[in-house]
Amino acid sequence: MLRLLLLLLLVWVAVTVVGVIVEGLFWLAVVGLVFFVATAVLGASRRR
């Protein structure tokens, strides 16, 4: 489970970086950031 969460976090970081680099894809950066935070919160709540 931890590996899956780490993989998802890496994917969301990559999506966010692509969204920031490509000018017309700012919405992709926002979506990537939202999913990153949601995955981090979900992972933190499941570890407890």
Please report which confidence band the pLDDT of residue 37 belongs to, taking 50, 70 and 90 as the band edges: very high
In this prediction, residue 23 has a pLDDT band, given cuts at 50, 70 and 90, of confident
Q: Which residue has the higher pLDDT, 46 or 39?
A: 39
Look at residue 47 in the predicted model and tell me its pLDDT.
77
Q: How high is the pLDDT of residue 2?
A: 80
For residue 38, what are the domain limits?
A: 2-47
Q: How many distinct structural domains can be found in the chain?
A: 1
| Beta carbons within 8 Å of 14's beta carbon, 6+ residues apart | 32
